Structure 1
C-alpha cells in the first residue's frame, strides 16, 4: 500500500454515526443530506429510461442533451459558458477527484481554505501533493471570515492549485464577489489554478438566485474549474451525479480521464437529471424556502442556549456551533449520541480549524425534529 493511502484518516462523521448504529431513538443530523426523497418526476424519468432498456454506455462526457441543459442552466445564472466546457461526472466528489487528477502531480503545492470538507485536500494528498491550509477565523458572533491578505501570502508562484468551497461546508461562510475578483487577479499573477467547489451555490439565502460564483468574474480561458453536484439542490444524493465547468480547450483531456475513471455516468441517472433541470425553476426555490425556515428555526432555538456560539449561515444547509466543554469535538459528538440520542458531526472532521465546533445539518422535512434536537442539547449542557 502507498504511504499516502495508509496515512488517510477515516471519516470522523462515520465514526460518530457508527456509535448510534441500530438505534431508532437517535435524531440524526450528522450527514450532509436532506431527509426529503428525490422528487417524483425525477424518479419517474429514471424509471422510464430503465423501462426503455437504456442500460448501455453513453458518451464519456455525458449525454449531449444533458450537457446542453447544463449549459442553459449555467447561462441563466452566470452567462453562457459555451458548448465546450461542461463534463458530466459520476458524483460531485468524482468531479473533484477528476479536477485534481487533471492538474496535480506528486510534489505539487496545493493550498486549501479550511475548515473544509475533508475529501478535497485528501484527494490532492492521494496524488502526492503537499497541502497547506489557510484558516478561516470565527468572529465573536460565530460567523467565519477569510483573511484575504493571509491567503494572498500563502498562494505564490510555487502554488499549483487553490481549493475553495463556498458556500462552505461546514461553516456556512461564503465569498463576496469582490473577494472572488481579488483572488482571481492574484492567481492570474501567480499562475495558480483555482478549483471552486460551488455545490451549495443554490442553497443561498441572500439576494439573487445563487451565491456569488467564480464564473461571474472570470473568462473562459482562466485557470478555473468549477465543480457542481445534483446531490444538494436537487435532492439527489444517492444518485451520484455531478458536473464540471472547465476552461476552454480542456474538455478532450477530461473525456480521457473520465474513460479511465468511470467511463461514463449511467444513462438512467442522467435522464433523471434532465427532469430535475426541467423543473428547477420551481423546485429549487421551493427547496430553498423550506431550508430557510429550517435554518431560522434551528438557529433561533440555538441562540437561546447559554454559552452556544453560532451564526445564521447565508448559504448551505449547516449550522456550525461552538458549545462550552466541546474542546474534543469527536468525543463530545459520540457522547451526545450515546447519552442523549443527538447525532451531530464533529468539527474536527473538517480539519484542525474546526476542532471545538459541531456541525448540524438542518435539511429536514420536519422542523419540529430540529427543535427536539435543541432540547436534547439543552439537557446535555454543560458538556
Structure 2
C-alpha cells in the first residue's frame, strides 16, 4: 500500500517562522524581555473595549455583511479622505479579519499559479508567503543602506517590473527596516505599472507610524479609483489592537464582489462587536494615535542612543514603523545569535534571516515599549554587544 503525505505539497513547502523559533525558546527562560514581536506593549484604548462591550450588550452577536458593516466602511471612507485628500466610495472598502487576512484575500483574488510577483526584501515573511501559497513565483529585490538610511534602487525596480509581472508588493513604512518609499518614487512606479498592467499591492499598516509627519507618503493620495492598486491596512499597529484581528482593503470597486465571495468562503466576516470597536477608534481615536507616536518617539530615542554607542553595531535610521533593524559586525548566523542573546542578555530579538536572505547579519528590535522596560533591556543588551 502506497502511503500519501498528510498535507498538500503547497502546505509542505511552507517554512516555519524563525521569529517563533526565538520567541518560543525565550518564553521558557526566566527574566527575558520580549522585543521580538511586532506589537506595542500598551493595551487597546478603553474606547475600543467599551464600544465592543456595548455592542455585545445590545445583541450584536450575529453574522455580518461579507464586505463589513456599512457604518464602518463609511467611517473608513471619511478617514481615508482625511489622510489622503481624496474621495473614497464605500464600494472600494472591504473589512477584513486583520491585515494578514487582507493580504491573503488579495493574493487569492489576483494570483493564478505561476504568476510573477516582485517583493522588496528584507520583508515581513508572512506578506510574501501568502502570495506563494496562492501559487506565485517570487522575484526579490533587496534594499540597500546608503548614508545610514535604507534605500531602493528605482532603476532596478523598474527593470524588474515587466509586463510579465502580475503584482509588485510594497510595504512602506517597512517591517522590519522602517524604510519609506518617497512619494516621487511611488509616482514613478505607479505610472510604470499603468503601462505594464501590473498590480501594486501596498501593505500600509504602518502608514500612520511615520517619524516625519502625520501620514507616510501613500499610494492612495496618488492613484485613481480605477488604478490597479490594492491597499491593505489594519487596526493592529496604529490603534494597538493586535489581538482584535481587524483590518480593511481599499481596492477598485470592481473587486468588491470578488472580495465578498472570498470572505464568505474564508470566515464570513469579522464579528460585529469588533467592527463596532474599530469604528469607534476610526471616528474618535486620533488622540490615541498621537499618544502612541509620542511613546514611540521616546522609545526610539533610547534605542538610537544605545546602539549608536556601540562600535560593533551599524545603526540604520528607520523613517517609520516601530523597529530598529541593525547590523552586528561579524554575525553570520542571526538566528543562532538571537538565541544566544536570550541566555546572555535575557533580551529577545527577531533574527534578520527571518525576513529573507537580505536580512542576514541584522537583528530586529521592536521599540514599542515603555522607556523603563527598554532602559533595562538595553543595559543588558549593550553589555553583550560590546563584546563583538
Bin of the TM-score, shorter chain as denominator length: over 0.9
Corresponding residue number in structure 1 for 2:12: 6
Deviates more, 1:11-20 or 1:286-295: 286-295
Give how far 1:371 is off. Answer: 2.1
Runs of 5+ unmatched residues, structure 2: 1-6
Q: What residue is the counterpart of 1:370 in the other structure?
A: 374
Residues 89 and 243 in structure 1, CA contact (< 8 A), matched pair in contact too: yes
Provide the residue aligned with 2:184 in structure 1. Answer: 178
User: Does structure 2 conserve the Cα–Cα contact (< 8 Å) formed by 1:333 and 1:358?
Assistant: yes
Give 1:205 shift: 1.3
Do the aligned residues in 1 keep the contact of 2:150 with 2:318 (CA within 8 Å)? no
Superposed displacement of residue 276, structure 1: 1.0
**Alpha-carbon contact 1:295-1:312 (below 8 Å) kept:** no
Separation (CA, whole Å) in 2 of partners of 1:332 and 1:220: 46
Distance 1:340 1:325 in 2: 18
Aligned partner of 1:31 in structure 2 is 37
Q: 1:67, 1:87 within 8 Å by CA — same for their partners in 2?
A: yes
Q: In 1, Cα distance between the equivalents of 2:161 and 2:44? A: 40
Secondary structure of the corresponding residue to residue 315 of structure 1: coil
Contact 2:227 2:252 in 1 (8 A): yes
Q: Deviations over 1:290-331 (max 9, x none)?
A: 111111121122111122111232110000111123221000
Superposition map of 1:223-234 within 5 A: 223-234=228-239
In the alignment, does 2:27 pair up with 1:47? no
Q: How does 1:153-168 map to 2 (within 5 A)?
A: 153-168=159-174
Moved over 6 A (4+): none
**Structure 2 matches for 1:220-369, cutoff 5 A?**
220-364=225-369, 366-369=370-373
The answer as to 2:121 corresponding to 1:117 is no
Q: Aligned pair 1:379/2:388, yes or no?
A: no
Residues 306 and 382, structure 2, Cα contact 8 Å, conserved in 1? no
Question: Which is further off, 19-28 or 310-319?
Answer: 19-28
Give the Cα–Cα distance (whole angstroms) in 1 for the partners of residues 76 and 352 of structure 2.
Answer: 34
Q: Distance in 2 between matches of 1:280 and 1:340?
A: 37
- Displacement, 1:248? 2.6
8 Å Cα contact 2:55/2:273 also seen in 1: yes
**Quick one: distance in 2 between partners of 1:136 and 1:4?**
28
Matched ranges for 1:43-192 at <5 A = 43-78=49-84, 79-139=86-146, 141=148, 143-192=149-198
Once the two structures are overlaid, the 10-residue window that deviates more, 322-331 or 88-97, is 322-331
Range moving further from structure 2, 219-228 or 284-293: 284-293
Distance 1:337 1:308 in 2: 18
- Contact residue 197 and residue 226 of structure 1 kept, 8 A: yes
CA contact (8 A) 1:301 1:371 kept: no
Matched-pair contact (CA < 8 Å) for 1:296–1:312 = no
Separation in structure 2 between the aligned mates of residue 281 and residue 30 of structure 1, nearest angstrom: 27
The C-alpha deviation readout for 1:14-59, integer Å capped at 9, x for no partner, is: 0001111233411110000001000111101111111222111010
8 Å CA contact retained: 2:145, 2:316? no
Contact 2:122 2:356 in 1 (8 A): yes
Structure 1, unaligned stretches of length 5 or more?
none
C-alpha displacement at 1:370, in angstroms? 1.5
Given that 1:109 and 1:159 are in contact with CA atoms closer than 8 Å, whether structure 2 keeps it comes out as yes
TM-score for the superposition, normalised by structure 2 = 0.96
When structure 1 is superposed on structure 2, of 31-40 and 371-380 the one drifting more is 371-380
- Give the Cα separation in 1 of the matches to 2:312 and 2:28: 32
Task: Measure the CA separation in 1 of the matches of 2:208 and 2:290.
Answer: 8
What whole-Å deviation, never above 9, does each CA across 1:201-228 have from its counterpart, x for those lacking one?
0001113x20011011110000000000
Contact 2:246–2:270 (Cα < 8 Å) also in 1: yes
Deviation of 1:140 (Å): 5.0
